[in-house]
Chains A and B, each alone.
Chain A
Amino acid sequence: MSRRRRRPGATFVSPRPRAEPAARKDRRNRRQAPRGRGGSIARHHWQALRSAMHRLVKTPLATLMTVMVIAVALSLPAALQIVVKNAHAVSGNLEHKAQISLFLRQRVTEGQARELQQQLAERSEIVAVEFISRQQALEEFRSLSEFGSALDTLGENPLPHVLLVYPRVDQHDTEQLETLRADLAALPQVELAQLDLAWLQRLFAIIEILQRSVAFISLFLTFAVILVVANTIRLMSQNYREEIEVFKLVGASDAYVRRPFLYSGLLYGFAGGLLALLMVLLATLWLSGPVNELARLYHSDYRLQGLDWRDGLTLLVTGLLLGFGGSWAAVSRYLRELQL
């Protein structure tokens, strides 16, 4: 570079002193700096980013601990969000399977039962009707209940034919469902019409509570992340007090002084978000095996839902925003206190 050339009239003499680490750093900085007359803003941002990275690397343990705290604080609501997401998926499946079971009278033959199935399927308030013959029901009962040998002692099949009615009406409108159930119960072929929605309603209530809890915990942990970043940046700005004072006295604006700290906050937030994302992904992977196995045992094709790319992006952006917000609050306050 040109700085190695000796200028005419220069009074210095060789040999040059051996380059020290600070000098090596300077050379690297100058090599990497954006060039061009119009690159002043880019140059400032580049300097600020480099300075921020240097500050974080200089205290690796403190940086790691801060990033870990942010990651834990971000991963908790993310993990709970996954729980809510899966609960929604499960309840969604169940919602569409809400049904009224019609236990037909013993005297109703299979042919009459199938005829009734046809008639009901044509009604506008019914989506579909499934027929389970008494024989099918017995076999299912035998395989699931483990009372197969006890059933063998019975002379005849005590189970009736069953029609499973899937209503078209809003699943949350219990009044409408109850009206339909009563209507079906009044049919002469029907012994018992059963609508069991209570457990579904309870599940919806639990999910609602879970959802609100996640929102509250997320809000709480958001403040925690802002406080962690703000406190870290406050300590950092105190460590760089001398440098800040020099900068201010030679004409640095508040924005110039603030910029490296904002980049530090952004880096903390990004690293925390990235680590949180990794933690949640690993936890999802770790849990997906047992959950999928459990679903299989219940004859379900349900699969554990993890974070999709939108969730991942949200986590990273949240980390960045919280890092930025925390550092902005801390360094702005510090500059106000400095009064230079």
Chain B
Amino acid sequence: MIRFEHVRKRYPGGHEALKNVSFRLDSGEMAFLTGHSGAGKSTLLKLIALIERPSHGSIWVNQRNLARLHPRDIPGHRRRLGIIFQNPTLLFDRSVYENTAVPLRIAGCPEAETARRVRAALDQVGLLDKERLNPVALSGGEQQRLGIARAIVAKPEVILADEPTGNLDPVLSREIMQLFQRLNQVGVTTLIASHDLDLIREFPNRQLTLARGELVGDRS
């Protein structure tokens, strides 16, 4: 469950990226966050991931008030999230397998368990046959799927995706969105920021619309 209560975010310099945003996303729900560039989509996701802190208001993620989270608890909070970016930020000196295994290694997961879960994640995104390759040998769509595999490998409670199809063609974009839908079917709360309204319309999920930092639409 994600809950925003009157959240404002003002960056140093005075720019107000979010203005009094309130909404609630139930556990296991999937929603799209739409709006033009600069509407505040990325800021909203960053607030959930605690990359940024709100200037005002409170954010709740699975009964945890993020405003009261101690800095030393931030890593633990992030380990419960799966974060996917427009650029999948892969490590190109490691194989597909090792890229996927990063969250498990950080969590200190035993080797056998790591191997099992990495293969399961790669299987889910259709990259199991490429586990030994270097990510540089993957196509753009495959790299994005690898980013998703890394995000889901530690079985997160919430998936946050920031323009995950921004660099992909329409066919690959649809594939990625379908992948998110499949992941959501196992009960993972999913929030996807995207400005691709044509693509979003193909899916029946809830749609939150931001404009100039304000939540101007909430369509189920």
Which listed segment binds B: A12-20, A123-131, A144-152, A312-320?
Answer: A12-20
Q: B180 near A: Cβ within 8 Å?
A: no
Q: B204 near A: Cβ within 8 Å?
A: no
Q: B79 near A: Cβ within 8 Å?
A: yes
Does A26 contact B103, Cβ atoms closer than 8 Å? Answer: no
In B193-210, the 8 Å CB interface with A consists of none
Distance of A1 Cα from B79 Cα, bound (Å)? 28
Q: A158 near B: Cβ within 8 Å?
A: no
Which one, A41, A249, A253, contacts B49 given CB within 8 A?
A249
Name A's interface SS: helix
Q: Closest Cβ of chain B: how far from A187's Cβ, in Å? A: 82
Does A250 contact B51, Cβ atoms closer than 8 Å? Answer: no
Give chain B residues whose Cβ lies under 8 Å from the Cβ of A245.
Answer: 89
Does A20 contact B106, Cβ atoms closer than 8 Å? Answer: no
* A interface footprint on B53-95 (CB within 8 Å = 1, 0 otherwise): 0000000000000000000100111111101000001110111
Does B79 contact A250, Cβ atoms closer than 8 Å? Answer: yes
Interface size of B by CB at 8 A reads 42
Q: B36 near A: Cβ within 8 Å?
A: no
Does B132 contact A33, Cβ atoms closer than 8 Å? Answer: no
* B interface footprint on A111-124 (CB within 8 Å = 1, 0 otherwise): 00000000000000
* B interface footprint on A11-55 (CB within 8 Å = 1, 0 otherwise): 111001101101101100110010111011101100100000000
Q: A256 near B: Cβ within 8 Å?
A: yes
Which one, B81, B108, B131, contacts A44 given CB within 8 A?
B108
Does B89 contact A246, Cβ atoms closer than 8 Å? Answer: yes
Closest to A33 in B: B111
Does A35 contact B108, Cβ atoms closer than 8 Å? Answer: no
Give chain B residues whose Cβ lies under 8 Å from the Cβ of A17.
Answer: 129-130, 132-133, 137
Give chain A residues whose Cβ lies under 8 Å from the Cβ of B134.
Answer: 20, 22-23
Does B72 contact A253, Cβ atoms closer than 8 Å? Answer: yes
Distance of A33 Cα from B114 Cα, bound (Å)? 12
Does B128 contact A30, Cβ atoms closer than 8 Å? Answer: no
Does A2 contact B107, Cβ atoms closer than 8 Å? Answer: no
* B interface footprint on A246-266 (CB within 8 Å = 1, 0 otherwise): 111111110010000000000
Does B128 contact A35, Cβ atoms closer than 8 Å? Answer: no
Q: A10 near B: Cβ within 8 Å?
A: yes
Q: A242 near B: Cβ within 8 Å?
A: yes
Given A3-B97, A3-B115, A23-B133, 11 other A-B contacts at CB below 8 A?
A: A11-B129, A17-B132, A17-B137, A22-B93, A23-B97, A36-B110, A40-B110, A41-B108, A43-B105, A43-B110, A249-B51
Q: Which residues of B does A touch, CB under 8 Å? A: 49, 51, 72, 75-81, 83, 89-91, 93-95, 97-98, 102-103, 105-108, 110-112, 115, 119, 123, 126, 128-134, 137, 150, 154
